[in-house]
Structure 1
Amino acid sequence: QVHLPPIASSVSTFSQVKSDGEHDDDEGIKYVDNLQVVGGILGKTFKANGDFVGTPQAQWFRQQARTGTAVFKPITGATDLEYEPNADDVGACLRLECVGPYGGAATAVETSPLALDPQMHAELQENLRRGHAEFHAHNQMQEPRIILVTRKNIKVRSKLSRIATSSHTLYKQGYDLPVTVVVDQHGPTEMELKLGEQSFSLSMDSQRSRDLAVLCIRMFAGPNCPAHDSDSDDDSGHDGGESSDGASESHKSGASESKSGGPIGFS
């Protein structure tokens, strides 16, 4: 069964979470009150507003499920009243906590799961219907790369130039081996694609293209595909130049194609 992300045509307004007590200081001043967040669609910036005395300290959180329990974890670097969501946030609820300039209890707003606009949602559905998707990118040396994702496997291909019509496969594997896509939190068009022991640092033409590629890869890989250890620092096979391309090419013939095109899902 396929679980596509939610869809929305317009942004929403999310209001302050009610608390049991008042967040006043000793003089009864509310440093943060009537907190609201406007947003809720990938590609639209979350914007917070409210009644502030001084400049509040802000921190955004992303809801993640671990062992059946949903918890909010802080998003690194997301400490402004505005936040630009990315593919990692799709389908997850976000939480903004604001604290007055002199500390105290946090005032919070929680959002609904981040949705896709109708156009991107339709693109995901069409890719799923066709059973394949193709994305154009380039590596750190500005060499063109093609990511070809199907129900059975994922390929990284090389082109001599952007206008060249032919390409050759650098690496290919099925979904019985680990597949992980890491979104660069500081580069809106960049991502790292980890396939088995290989790693490809790639950049797309726009954040929308990057996020769509990430969502498609995760959708085709499905929830049963193994992922890499997030603590691993092994960068062997990193696609930074010709030497890594050669290493990737040596693995091509051994890539697994045994996994059948079974049910795929969004995770």
Structure 2
Amino acid sequence: MASPLMNESVWFNQQKFEKAEANYQQILAGTATPGQGKQGGSSLVNEIAQARQEISKLLKNPITGGGGSAPAGKMESLERENRELRKVTDELRAMVLKLENRVSALERGSGAPAASAAAAPAATKPSKPAADDDDDDDDFDMFGSDDEEEAAERERLQAERVAAYKAKKASKPALVAKSNIILEVKPWDDETNMKELEQKVREVSTDGLKWGSSKLVPVGYGINKLQIMCVVEDDKVGTDFLEEAITAYEDYVQSVDVVAFNKI
């Protein structure tokens, strides 16, 4: 991890350099002579050379300021941040592992809890002496008996549910499909007795047939046709049966037509 001080430029010898720069400007302006204000009579050239060396050291190592050490407070802060980052990283890693375990358990489906429950008692079971281990290993099956019991239990529950569904379906009354049919019965001529014709039509009787209202509809030349309504159960009575049964009275009936057929 990069230290925050790597991007900072710390100049611990700034005052010294500023003083040398001011002395140099005074020499250029003629208000000072080389070596003035210096101990040991060092020249301005030496000061400038030394300043350049210090600047070079600062550029190479901006944190320590050319040979110094970083402040203790900064180092402690960096170490504290490092510890906090490690702690956060460990917590995130633990959360990721926990989520992976949960996803794996969900993918395994309903069989995973049963296997875990079967494995838990086996793990907590006290160990036997070493002498008995060799004899028991051959006969011991950790998951076989539990799997067989669970399979038998599932089959039993499934059979009970199927039986309950069939019983419920059998007790529910079946819907009877019915239709409303309107027939037109035409006589041979105007001399046909329409009341007797209607009586003959209503004499047609069978299971699933119920006659309704009727009326006479003029055709022309004094001839009327009988329009009669009936309700039938679709599985028991069809239009073919009605036509054949009514036209059987051939002394009265010329033809039978289906005018309307509607499901109820």
TM-score of the superposition, structure 1-length normalised? 0.16
TM-score of the superposition, structure 2-length normalised? 0.17
Which one has a bigger Cα radius of gyration? 2
Higher relative contact order (CA 8 A, sep 6+): 1
Give the structure with the higher percent strand: 1
Give the structure with the higher percent helix: 2
